[in-house]
Structure 1
């Protein structure tokens, strides 16, 4: 079974008390950063940020670089990254209009943590694959 992307509308904040949770953070603080973590943790956002790390690109260049992303998903992801201040969209008054996408300073600041996470994934892939295999064999019994 292949999992796909599902658009989910964020629910209204709960009326749960603003109590401290793990790490000393308040529940309201964690809820506030949830949408940011959802954006920067999305696989398409990660791939787009890393692709734009090499410089501005046009839409179709980005689509080719990222690979299996649909035109709609690329549009939605770019719009979200632009809304969050991570990507800048520049329209040039040519015929046909030229549109470039590039990382903002904030977007560039995201490169280091994404690269660190990617390196961690590469370094630990064999261990994770082994753990998955062991789990899958155990779960079948």
Structure 2
């Protein structure tokens, strides 16, 4: 693998670590919520939580169309959509997370290739071929 590939793989891994950490902290604040699907149900159907808010653990969240954007206290932003019942992300969401200039970091295509590679090794799950990926233990259910 080339240097660009290694940089893209490292970027995807940084996103995955941040996603796991931020989600864990968000769900720690809401004992009845075990995933984004539960959070969306609490917001849209039960109306027990607002569409956007700040958890007691310092994570901001905002429910949107098919998913949720989460921001930690240092400004790291992760975003997932529900694809079926799976909390999934794509290369564009990783690119937004990196918040780098278009020439400075891995391209969306390099990130997509890195995601596919990591899915082939079991580090990620490929939810929809070549486009949507998930953390192996985040299938929309418990954490």
**Higher fraction of helix:** 1
Taking structure 2 as the reference length, what is the TM-score of the superposition?
0.31
Task: Return the structure number with greater relative CO, CA threshold 8 A, min gap 6.
Answer: 2
Name the one with the larger strand percent.
Answer: 2
TM-score relative to the length of structure 1: 0.32
